[in-house]
Amino acid sequence: IARASAAAGPLAGLRTALSLYGASAGLRPQYDTDAERRRTDALAACAAVPTLLTALHRLGQGLDPVEPRDDLPYAANYLYMLTGSEPEPDRARAIERYLISTVDHGFNASTFTARVITSTGADLAACLVGAVGALSGPLHGGAPSRALDTLDAIGTVDRIDPWIRERVLAGDRIMGFGHPVYRTEDPRSRMLRGIAEQFGGPLVDFAVQVEARVEAILAELKPGRELHTNVEFYAGVVMELCGLPREMFTPTFAAARVVGWSANILEQAADSKIIRPAARYVGPLPPQPVPPVA
């Protein structure tokens, strides 16, 4: 798993690690367990995920995993296990606020995936592995580092307009902007911008300038679409300022969202009905009439 994590990232390793965790913990199909057992299993998994993620990252870097500490809060402990050093309070608080803001967010792709798998009666690990798989997609949880890559690609203030216009006119998506639900500013983005501005510095100043110009250009080229920054744009900035490596941006998202997934899993497991969406065929008609039934 460590070798795979080094090559493909901790989130890829987490999929396998969670499967092994489920087997070693003897997780049974939730259909066959009671509510108390399911809750106990979910709490244990929520505690295991940040430990697994940080261990996978360190092993992938050729470093030994760092044991968690009982005396540190969740976010501070996460940064400690990641770096091996106790974090500065302002960094721990910034990551804590990010984690809280991303714990849950409606029936997003990964949460819905977890609920569908839960509805079959599968064990908790299977549900979480499915959620992690959905989160790994760049259109869901994979955007924070890509949004920061956009800032790197633009480079300087004078390049913002030509760089953005070229991408928008080519039909490319500007990572960190737009949301499938919000048609106003993502409130999580506003909160994270405030955290970034408390740190200050050239990166934050540049990000604020890019945000303003991108929103103006998108309003001009895509009138009526109301495309604003989403949570990923300033999440990348905040995590960069707090010293997280970019390959850990989406895994850090997972360390928060596992709590929301688990809450949804527990709720879904209480209802034994399977989720079975209906589909309507809209393809081409058959080339010749179907023979009537005799």
Catalytic center residues: 179, 232
Alpha helices in 27-138 (DSSP H): 35-60, 74-83, 89-101, 109-119, 124-135
b/e sequence 26-43, b meaning 16+ C-beta within 10 Å: ebeebeebeeeebeebbe
CA distances from 31 to 76, 228, 258, 270 (A): 36, 42, 20, 9
Q: Which DSSP letter does residue 138 get?
A: T
- What 3-state DSSP class applies to 229? strand
Percent of residues in the chain assigned helix, strand, coil, to nearest 5:
65, 0, 35
Closest CA to 231 of 218, 250, 214: 250
Residue 184 CB: number of other CB atoms within 10 A? 9
Asked if 58 contacts 1 with a C-beta cutoff of 8 angstroms, the reply is: no
- Please give the biggest Cα pair distance in the chain: 79
Residue 290 class from Cβ within 10 Å (0-12 exposed, 13-18 middle, 19+ buried)?
exposed
Q: Helix/strand/coil (H, E, C) string of 19-55? A: HHHHHHCCCCCHHHCCHHHHHHHHHHHHHHHHHHHHH
Q: Token pair of 175, please?
A: 């990572």
CA 33, CA 53: separation in Å to the nearest integer?
Answer: 27
